[in-house]
Amino acid sequence: MSADRRRWVLHVDLDQFIAAVEVLRRPELAGKPVIVGGRGDPTERAVVSTASYEAREFGVGSGMPLRIAARKVPDAVILPVDAEAYTVASEQVMSALRAQPGATVQVLGWDEAFLGIETDDPEAYARSVQAAVLERTALHCSVGIGDTLVRAKVATGFGKPRGVFRLTAENWLDVMGARPTIDLWGVGSKISKRLAGLGIRTVAELAAVEDEDLVAEFGPRMGPWYAQLGRGEGATVVDDTPWVARGHSRETTYQQNLVERVAVEAAALELLAQVLEDVAADGRPVVGLGLKVRYAPFITKTFTKKIASTFDRETVLAKTMELVEKIEDRPIRLLGVRAEMAMPDDARQGHTPTRGGW
């Protein structure tokens, strides 16, 4: 590697991906507020999968109940989720990324991926990636440039839409220091509140913490990890090993609340049967379980349980029902069941924040 060339991490994120795919199929929707969710019927119980930038201006966001989104934007075009179409578009995007010279590609999901590259001009390379994706798919993307995966991922948010932004050790605290910890990749509302309870509210404050100072609150693995996130540190190498699911989950939003205990148990068993079909196809043992419950009107709780590694269906069933017993006697609008599986190489999963689960 020459003195002027160095390794970089690019994070490529498609702009309003699902909505953009729908607009490509229906060009007349360009510039209009588009909301995608459920079966496209706001009178049914469903949540927003994505919204176009025009809809987001009205406060519509992913996970919002579809009926509320429709109320916020009365003239919005509301469309059903079409996972097959999004999968096809995603495959075209990833194919375009893999065709980039010298790039190692790590797919994160339908609409994002890391690229490991070597260049003396990462901005020019990023622009060429954007052009290649646009030419291949007619979709726009934003690109974050970093010297770690974490910094590249965070940088993308500053580049949206259709832009390029660089975050490195040199400007990390200048850009991120005054921001709340929830702005970090891998820090959600619960973790940010726990950090605030320790007097840590900004990224700069988290960056200044010693790794061991967070062990008492978050444990010997996650404590140092959150401190590392505050500094923007972490993995620097993009890993193109095929992604392996940590678990499988199924959930259903019921158009009529589940009230009777027997109905709740039957619904949980039905979801578990679907999950175990997916698990069986993977051929890995179950090592953990999760149960997601959304009480009416919209209060969500999640119960989890680690179990001894097993292939035994009856054992998984019994342990799941132990979680079901924790459900309160209240009307339920959504149930979800998740099974965590043993990973081929758990060590690799710790390098970057995970996307699975609830």
Per-residue pLDDT of 243-280, as tens digits, reads 788 899 999 999 999 999 999 999 999 999 999 999 99
Q: Do the beta carbons of residue 23 and residue 29 sit within 8 Å? A: yes
Domains of the chain: 1-167 (3.30.70.270), 172-231 (1.10.150.20), 247-342 (3.30.1490.100)
DSSP single-letter state for residue 211:
G
Q: Do the beta carbons of residue 103 and residue 94 sit within 8 Å? A: no
How far apart are alpha carbons 218 and 303 in whole angstroms?
18
Q: What is the model's pTM?
A: 0.81
Is 28 assigned a catalytic role? Answer: no
Scored b (16 or more CB within 10 A) or e, 118-136 reads bbeebeebbeebbebbeee
Q: Compute CA distances 131 → 92, 93, 100, 135, whole Å.
A: 14, 12, 11, 6
How far apart are alpha carbons 314 and 312 in whole angstroms?
6
How far apart are alpha carbons 283 and 269 in whole angstroms?
21
Query: Of the listed 22, 54, 112, 205, which one is catalytic?
Result: 112
* Overall size of the chain counted in residues: 358
Query: Residue 137: which pLDDT band, with cuts at 50, 70 and 90?
Result: very high
Q: Which residue has the tokens 């020019």?
A: 124
Please name every residue paired with 82 in a beta bridge, in sequence order, or none if there are none.
none
- pLDDT of residue 354 exceeding 90: no
Per-residue pLDDT tens for 29-45? 999 999 999 999 999 98
